[in-house]
């Protein structure tokens, strides 16, 4: 294992390289590979990566594609650490061989009908959930993003941006604090620079911050303020509905003057949660704790006697909007649970051995077609 001095002086130390990453990378180093961090995710599984010798354009090897093709989340995302080798005879190019295990990841269900997860950002320490205080403001959306943030493993911070466009931003902050107890809520304005010092307090050297939210909330403008040389594209929102124009079209990691690493992400029209039942319980821990005090174990919190949740609702201790959001998210997770169940879970179903034997008796090509 590398000593602390060599880690601190490593060319990738400004990008978050530390002793733990060096230990995880040791098998790849023994194979002659070099560490790199993904800074831009391009199309067709091409990535801009930063290495000890500078930035390279990396392409996944055929073996990597073969191993990862059945799971979109197995491909790198911005913030990931990977193992690469410079391409022989192609200056500025590299071959991407392996992906290091992630410490954290902000994930959502991929768009479309297929049940698959999409990694928005990886190995993040703080995730800023940005909402605009114009007509874009939506408390339910903030609570949904919070569940995804809890599931990511990063510290969530709610950012209410565009305070200069609201008559009473403090009242909104108080409302959100009631809906997301225990989560920091910061009111900001990239125009007046309000709240930027509070955001900057999270921007410690080597720390990775991710900004997520819908289009037009001002993520890129805030990042440009925090990382003065980032020069990320920004744009105005549409006047009629306050919706953004997707000025950020790709996920990108930039190094701020403070030494923090900041990830900008394209605006999301919607956020479908991916297998986040435990994260829902964590984000709504107050409701889960109240439910333990109900007289009946399977209380629906509707008209049952001795319901602690309904009592908190009637006393005003529990905001009705928060309970409504909790119920909706729990219902969504329950509806998608069968499709997200791990293959091993079928062993608990009656007759699973007979069905497995029937599948094994078929020619391989038929079984492969059925699985696809």
Residues 38-76 have pLDDT tens digits of 999 998 889 999 999 999 999 999 999 998 877 888 999
Tell which residue, 332, 236, 231, has the closest CA to residue 276: 332
CB count within 10 Å of CB 62 equals 9
Given pLDDT bands bounded at 50, 70 and 90, which one contains residue 231? low
| For residue 332, pLDDT beyond 90 | no
Contact 213, 268 (CB under 8 A): yes
The secondary structure element, H or E, covering residue 22 is helix 19-30
Residues of the chain with pLDDT > 90, as a percent, come to 47
Q: Phi first, then psi: what are they for 189, rounded to 5°?
A: -155, 115
Tokens at 275, concatenated: 């297998």
Give the integer Cα–Cα distance in Å for 143 and 102: 25
- The mean pLDDT value for 195-213 works out to 93
- The mean pLDDT value for 224-231 works out to 70
Tell which residue, 272, 271, 273, 275, has the closest CA to residue 338: 275
pLDDT: which is higher, 120 or 244: 120
Give the integer Cα–Cα distance in Å for 137 and 176: 11
329-357 burial by CB neighbour count: b if 16+ within 10 A, else e? beebbeebeeeeeeeeeeeeeeeeeeeee
According to DSSP, residue 205 is labeled: T
Give me the pLDDT at residue 85, please.
97
Q: What is the CATH number of domain 4-99?
A: 2.40.50.140
pLDDT: which is higher, 357 or 291: 291
Which residues, 6 or more positions from 185, have their beta carbon under 8 angstroms from its beta carbon?
A: 157, 158, 160, 173, 176, 177
Tell which residue, 278, 331, 296, 288, has the closest CA to residue 312: 288
Tokens at 130, concatenated: 């940005």
Give me the pLDDT at residue 278, please.
73
Give the integer Cα–Cα distance in Å for 297 and 306: 11
Superfamily for domain range 105-264: P-loop containing nucleotide triphosphate hydrolases (3.40.50.300)
Give me the pLDDT at residue 277, please.
66
State pTM to two decimals: 0.75
Give the integer Cα–Cα distance in Å for 104 and 115: 21
Give me the pLDDT at residue 300, please.
86
83: three-class secondary structure by DSSP: strand
Tokens at 44, concatenated: 């067709």
Per-domain residue ranges for the chain?
Answer: 4-99, 105-264, 284-340
Given pLDDT bands bounded at 50, 70 and 90, which one contains residue 272? low
Give the integer Cα–Cα distance in Å for 229 and 252: 14
Tell me the CATH number of domain 284-340, given options 3.40.47.10, 1.10.40.50, 1.10.3720.10, 3.40.1390.10. Answer: 1.10.40.50
Give the integer Cα–Cα distance in Å for 172 and 137: 10
What number of H helices and E strands is found in the chain? 13, 13
Highest mean pLDDT among 81-85, 88-92, 203-207, 271-275: 81-85
Q: Is 81 left (phi over 0), alpha (psi -120 to 50) or beta?
A: beta
- The mean pLDDT value for 296-319 works out to 91
Residue showing tokens 């194979």: 31
C-alpha distances (whole Å) from 195 to each of 126, 162, 183, 221, 350 are: 16, 11, 16, 13, 58
Given pLDDT bands bounded at 50, 70 and 90, which one contains residue 144? confident
- The mean pLDDT value for 166-188 works out to 93
Give me the pLDDT at residue 44, please.
80
Give the integer Cα–Cα distance in Å for 225 and 188: 11
- Arithmetic mean of pLDDT over the chain: 81
End-to-end CA distance of the chain: 43
Give me the pLDDT at residue 326, please.
86
pLDDT: which is higher, 208 or 282: 208
Residue showing tokens 């961090």: 37
| For residue 121, pLDDT beyond 90 | yes
C-alpha distances (whole Å) from 58 to each of 41, 82, 105, 192, 237 are: 10, 10, 21, 40, 34
182: three-class secondary structure by DSSP: coil
Give me the pLDDT at residue 371, please.
30
Tell which residue, 343, 337, 340, 372, has the closest CA to residue 355: 343
């Amino acid at each position: 294992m590398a000593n602390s001095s060599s880690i601190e002086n490593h060319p990738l130390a400004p990008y978050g390289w530390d002793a733990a990453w060096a230990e995880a990378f040791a098998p790849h180093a023994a194979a002659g590979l070099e560490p790199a961090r993904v800074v831009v995710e391009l199309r067709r599984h091409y990535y801009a990566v930063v290495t000890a010798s500078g930035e390279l354009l990396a392409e996944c090897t055929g073996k990597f594609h073969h191993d990862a093709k059945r799971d979109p989340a197995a491909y790198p995302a911005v913030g990931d650490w990977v193992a690469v080798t410079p391409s022989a005879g192609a200056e500025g190019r590299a071959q991407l061989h392996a992906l290091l295990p992630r410490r954290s990841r902000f994930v959502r269900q991929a768009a479309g009908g297929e049940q698959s997860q999409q990694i928005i950002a990886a190995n993040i320490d703080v995730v800023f959930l940005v909402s605009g205080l114009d007509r874009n403001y939506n408390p339910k959306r903030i609570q949904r993003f919070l569940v995804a943030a809890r599931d990511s493993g990063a510290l969530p911070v709610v950012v209410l941006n565009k305070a200069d466009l609201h008559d009473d931003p403090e009242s909104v902050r108080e409302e959100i604090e009631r809906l997301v107890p225990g989560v920091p809520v910061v009111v900001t304005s990239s125009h007046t620079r309000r709240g930027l010092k509070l955001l900057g307090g999270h921007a410690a050297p080597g720390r990775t911050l991710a900004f997520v939210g819908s289009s037009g909330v001002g993520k890129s403008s805030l990042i440009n303020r925090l990382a003065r040389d980032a020069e990320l594209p920004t744009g105005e929102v549409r006047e009629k509905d306050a919706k953004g124009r997707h000025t950020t079209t790709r996920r990108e990691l930039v190094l701020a003057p403070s030494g923090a690493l900041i990830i900008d992400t394209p605006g999301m029209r919607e956020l479908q949660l991916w297998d986040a039942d435990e994260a829902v319980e964590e984000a709504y821990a107050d409701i889960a704790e109240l439910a333990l005090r109900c007289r009946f174990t399977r209380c629906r919190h509707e008209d049952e006697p001795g319901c602690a949740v309904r009592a908190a609702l009637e006393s005003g201790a529990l905001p009705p909007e928060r309970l409504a959001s909790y119920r909706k998210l729990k219902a969504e997770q329950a509806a998608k649970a069968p499709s997200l169940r791990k293959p091993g879970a079928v062993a608990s179903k009656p007759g699973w051995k007979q069905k497995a034997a029937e599948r094994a008796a078929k020619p391989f090509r038929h079984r492969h077609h059925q699985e696809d």
